Every structure is written in C-alpha cells, then in structure tokens.
Structure 1
Amino acid sequence: MTNDKKLINSIIPLELYEPDYGSSLTKTIIGLEHLRVKKLSGSAPPYIFFQLKNIFQMFESLGSARIEGNRTTLAEFVEKVIEIPNKKTNDEKIQEIFNIDNAIEFIEKNISIGGKIDRAHISEIHKILVNKLTPPPRGEGSNYPGNFRQINVIIQKSKHIPPDQVHIQSYMDELVKFINQQADPQHDLLIAALSHHRMAWIHPFDNGNGRAVRMFTYAMLIKQGFQVKNGRILNPTAIFCMDRDKYYEMLSLADSGERIKTLQWCEYVLNGLKTEMEKIDRLLDKDYLVKSILLPSIQFSLEHENITHREFEILRGVINNKRMAVKSADIKKIIREKSAVQISRIIKKLKEKGMLMSLKESGRTYTISFSNNYLLRGVVNMLEKNDFIPKSLNKN
C-alpha cells in the first residue's frame, strides 16, 4: 500500500516549461543556439580532428559506464584500447565500455538532423549496450535486451519509485511523441534536457537505464543539429560524470515535477553542455592543438621510452608541417637521411606501429596517427592536463 501511494505521488506530467525571459537559463539557451548554428572553420585538418573525435568518444563511453559503478579508470582503459584495438574481450567491465562506444557509432550512423528517434532506435541502442553482458543481479546486462521491463524495479539510493511495468509502453509512447513534435527551435534544448529526465524517471528497462538515457541524449543532440560529421565533438556525459552525486541530486530535483525545480535541472544540463562545447571547440584551432596537446604528447612518449629519438623527430616534423602531413622527401630532410631504402624502412616501421598513416589507401602522404597506439598515452595525458577530461575518470 505504501509503495502504491509513493508511486501515485511520483506521477508527473511531461510538460514543456518556459523559462522566464532574461533568466540565466534563457541566456544559456541563446548561447547554445549560437554554438549550434556556428560554422566551425577550425584550422586543424579533418584527418587529425577525427582522431580526436575517436578519443572523446572513448571518454564518453568510459564516463557513462563509470556513472553506473564501473570502476575502470581512464589509465586502465587506455591500455586496453592499445592492447585490443579490435574490441574483443572477455572482461565484462571493458565490454560494457566497448558497448557504449558501439552505441555511439550506431547513433551517428542512424540519427540525422531533424530526423525521428523512434522506439526501434531506443530498442537497438539498449540491445547494443547490454550485448555480451551477464544479466542482473550478477552483471550489467539485461534479461530483456531491447525490450521494456516485465518487472517492477527500484532505483538504489533514490526516493523515486519508477512506474509499474504495465504503464511503461504508454509513457514511452508519450515520450517518443514529445521528442518528435514540431516545436520552435528555441525549445529543442529544453526538450532534450526534459527528455533525459523523463526517460530516467520511466526507467523502461530492467537494467542499463542510465547508459540508455545518456545515449538517448546523445541522439537527441544530433537530431537537433549538433552535427558531429562536420567538425563537432560532443561529450555530454562529461557533464554528468564530473560529479556523479550532483547528477543524481539534480535528477531527483526534477522528480517533483514542479516548474522551478524542473527548470533548475534543465539549467544544470544545458550549462554543462555549453561549457563542454566551448572548451572542446578550442581543439579545432591548429596552433593551440599543436602547442598544447600534440607536441607535449610526443615529448611525453619520448620521455617514457614509447618512441625513439628518431621517431620523435619525424613525428615532430609531421606535427609542425603546415598540413600536418608529409611525404618521404620531407622525412628525408627531417632526419637528414640520404638513403631512399632506409627512409622506406623507417616509414614502414612507423606504419606498422600505427604511428604514421597514409592519408589515402596506398598513398604516399603520411600524417601522425595517435588514437589507438602508444602515442595515445601522451595525448590523453595532455588532454587531462588541459582540463578536457574530467579528473574523476582516473579516480578509483
């Protein structure tokens, strides 16, 4: 009886609240609107940018898993990425992170600007997230992959009791309709923040709800025009994993359904998103990227004996090149090697180590490669030093 009363009290309407004109939330929304329509014309070449994007996707995946209690640190995960680039592992803690990575890839391939997010998308995202994981109570998988729960659940350390399983379908139908409504563009970001809370409130799956909700939010941002294919890096989970307790506190605030508290939740989400996007956009500036991230990262690799001094000189030459790409003749000048045969051997070795890659298949113009080899350690170290990565990712 007590539980029924709590359940009735927890039912709240799904409503698009308007922030007050001139409020700090309104100003944040306007700032994000500028970022959404801003044409990104950074000087970092795309073949460098997309490697950075892959690294931030890794942070997004790890951060989302750690919010759920996965104890894998960033340093540990970097080593796993280097060891197993094919993502095949028997370690379920690592598999959980790889699954999130795969879900992001699915979203980026299947969600388009202005397109619909439907039940099939949500189902597939959940299925990917729990793939190869042991179902509860022993693991982070699901007894109903891709399907709504057929049991009632409780949320640890939360006063909120999710709706009875018989109501999930109708609540999710309402949510899907809400996110696909023809709304004024100025309301898009509020819809994203409100939908994040609503899906967490419904808790539609038997397990993996937190992961599914954060991937759902990632999909919403792409739908709303924060397009990653044209030079944007999104890392929304950084907002939540920076302070896990604060995240849950703000989620609980919105459980009341009260306008003021719900808008406080929206402001928390959108402020964090704006800060993250403004910060990450700095990486599109080639000069900043070279001086603050890439050159210090190969120096780090040299000091930790991940590369030889000659390899360091070649990689430094690539990074300092105007195009951040070189041909064999350029390498010849960098290391003052006269033998064409020797230059070919050096290039071959660096390609085998994954530290140089051809810009085109079988091409003879090369750029630095750092997203899945020992150079990754240095790049991640410098991103962390420059506050692009939440320090919480390296805490046990």
Structure 2
Amino acid sequence: MKNLRPPEVGGEGDPSPGRYRSGNVAITGTSFVPPPGLDVPELMDRFISFINEPIDVRRSLMRIAIAHHRCAAIHPFRNGNGRVVRLLTYAMLIRDGYRIDQGRIINPTAVFCHSRADYMDGLSDADDGTEASNLRWCAFVLSGLRRELEKVGTLLDANILGPRILQPTLRFAVQSGQITDEMAQVLSRIAKNGDGDASTYRSVYPGKSAASISHIIADHKQIGIIAAYPTIRSRRYDQRFQRPGTLTALIHTMDAEGYLPFRRDDVERVHGTSTPLSVTALPLRSE
C-alpha cells in the first residue's frame, strides 16, 4: 500500500509522503471524519488481511467494492488518497481477472467517475456501515462494472465502431489539420474492409505510379497511421492511431461517446485535500 503512494510522486504538502499519516485529518466536502492517525497502522493491517483473504470468486467483486470505500474511509495518507484508492481498486480488478489485455473491460475505475453526484452519495451512504448501505454501495459498483463491460461489446460490433468511433475520429482529425482527406479515406476503407493493401491506396490516389504508391505507404507507416499486418513483412495493412494528432482525435471521440472516465480529481470526495486538525478540536468517530 505504501508503494502506491511513494515519496517520488511529490510531497503535495505532506511532510511524510509514502508513510501512513500520524495525525488527524478532515476531508473537504464531507462531514465524515476519518479515524485517528494513531489507529491507521492497525486498521491498514486489518484491511490488507481483508483484501488478501482467499474467497469464492463470486464474492470478489463485492470485496473490491467494499475495499474501495473502506480504504477511502481510513484515509491512510495525508494527501493523495484518491489516486491510491483508484490504483488499489484497479490492481484488485486486474488480479481477479478484469484485464484489459483479455478484452474484458476498458477502464475498471471509470465506474467511480461516471457520475460525480452518485459516487459521492454512494460513499456517504456507505459511511453508515450498515448491511443495507454496504449492499447499496456494492450494487452501485457492480452496475458500473456491467456498464463498462457493455462498452466493450459495443466496440466489438463493427456496425457501432465504424459510425460512432472511427468515422467521427477521422473527421475530427481532418478538420483539425492532423491528417489529410486522402489519409482519412485510406483509413476509412481499411476499417471497413478489415485491412488494406496497395489496391486500397490506388483507389484513393488514382493515377499515381506503383513507385509513388509504395512511397506513400512507407510514409504512412512512418508517421504511424498504418502498420503491416499481421507481421512486419506483410503487404497488408491495418489502421493505427499512433500519430499524436490522430490519437488526440480518437480520445476526443471516445470521450464524447462516454467511453472515458470523468477525470477532474477535485470533484471526488476521496480526492479532497486533507487538513490536519488538533486531537482536542476534532470530534472523532469511533471505529
């Protein structure tokens, strides 16, 4: 856990980055009071045991949901707790099989950023610590994960991917001057057909000689908008978005379609700045 908040990320006003807090804190934007600093080491030991205890896989998502709230409630560090909670949640999801490279989910932690109001209300509700409030929080998290899984399904559907993602991305890239109209036509045809070859280029650049077509293909590979497929020696090509301008256009489109999380850290309760308070002045909530 301490490695998730190393000193190298910067102090951010914390005199002891990378170590559990020893003082008492308040969280901006909420009436919830984290436990006293003296209790943090013991609470974190119990927390670590909880998240590593072997359990039935069918209960793993509920544990991840509870762990997210519990870590935020303990508030183990003076600052940076929001990113720690996100990283921990992400790590637990990957550990339990929700991996990007397996095509199962795009951004697991996006579930906590989808709606600022719902997320903050859910955390506050779960602060009660009752079985009912914990179940409501788990339902919120699980419904968000289902929503993210459904997004993967839409991206696997060519009838959705083309008109909603690829075509708007190419239009945005052309309008912003990142690629030419001819480049966009090539990429559009490659996307429609699954891949492309020299004939794809000839259809976009009629009248060009074979040597000129080869030069254009080499240039497009160099700038990162196509790549040889399936091997580097192949003469068939797949579209790529490695060129900074096209990548920016893709991110813009995916954000507009709701595939990317809301990222303003200051709107989430656990991302608020922690303010040190004196022990005598702080009405501490019992554990």
State the TM-score, normalized to the length of structure 2. Answer: 0.80
What's the offset of the Cα at 1:215?
1.4
User: 15, 33, 39: which one pairs with 1:161?
Assistant: 33
Structure 2 residue aligned with 1:276: 148
Structure 2 residue aligned with 1:336: 206
Question: In structure 2, what is the Cα distance between the partners aligned to 1:369 and 1:150?
Answer: 49
1:382 aligns with 2:258: no
Question: In structure 2, what is the Cα distance between the partners aligned to 1:284 and 1:163?
Answer: 45
User: 60, 66, 77: which one pairs with 1:188?
Assistant: 60
User: 109, 116, 125: which one pairs with 1:237?
Assistant: 109
1:123 aligns with 2:11: no
| Residues 232 and 296 of structure 1: CA distance in aligned 2, closer, same or farther (over 3 Å) | same
Q: The residue matched to 1:153 in structure 2 has which SS?
A: strand
- 2:206 counterpart letter in structure 1: R
State the TM-score, normalized to the length of structure 1. Answer: 0.60
- 5+ residue gaps, structure 1, are 1-121
CA contact (8 A) 2:225 2:240 kept: yes
Structure 2 residue aligned with 1:315: 187
User: 208, 212, 223: which one pairs with 2:80?
Assistant: 208
Structure 2 residue aligned with 1:136: 12
Question: In structure 2, what is the Cα distance between the partners aligned to 1:149 and 1:268?
Answer: 29
Q: The residue matched to 2:32 in structure 1 has which SS?
A: coil
Which of the pair has more CA radius of gyration? 2
Aligned counterparts, 1:78-89, within 5 A: none
- 1:203 counterpart letter in structure 2: H
What's the offset of the Cα at 1:363?
5.3
- 2:141 counterpart letter in structure 1: V
Percent of residue pairs bearing the same amino acid type: 34
Q: The residue matched to 2:26 in structure 1 has which SS?
A: coil
| Residues 132 and 363 of structure 1: CA distance in aligned 2, closer, same or farther (over 3 Å) | farther
CA contact (8 A) 1:353 1:373 kept: no
What's the offset of the Cα at 1:368?
1.5
Aligned counterparts, 1:1-396, within 5 A: 122-127=1-6, 131-133=8-10, 135-137=11-13, 142-322=14-194, 325-359=195-229, 360-361=231-232, 364-371=235-242, 373-389=244-260
CA contact (8 A) 1:280 1:388 kept: no
Q: The residue matched to 2:244 in structure 1 has which SS?
A: coil
Q: The residue matched to 1:229 in structure 2 has which SS?
A: helix
What's the offset of the Cα at 1:345?
2.3
CA contact (8 A) 1:328 1:343 kept: yes
- 5+ residue gaps, structure 2, are 268-287
Structure 2 residue aligned with 1:52: none
| Residues 340 and 281 of structure 1: CA distance in aligned 2, closer, same or farther (over 3 Å) | same
CA contact (8 A) 1:242 1:392 kept: no
Q: Deviations over 1:77-127 (max 9, x none)?
A: xxxxxxxxxxxxxxxxxxxxxxxxxxxxxxxxxxxxxxxxxxxxx333222
Q: Deviations over 1:135-176 (max 9, x none)?
A: 233xxxx54343322333221122222222222222112112
Alignment RMSD: 2.6
Pairs aligned (count): 264
| Residues 228 and 304 of structure 1: CA distance in aligned 2, closer, same or farther (over 3 Å) | closer
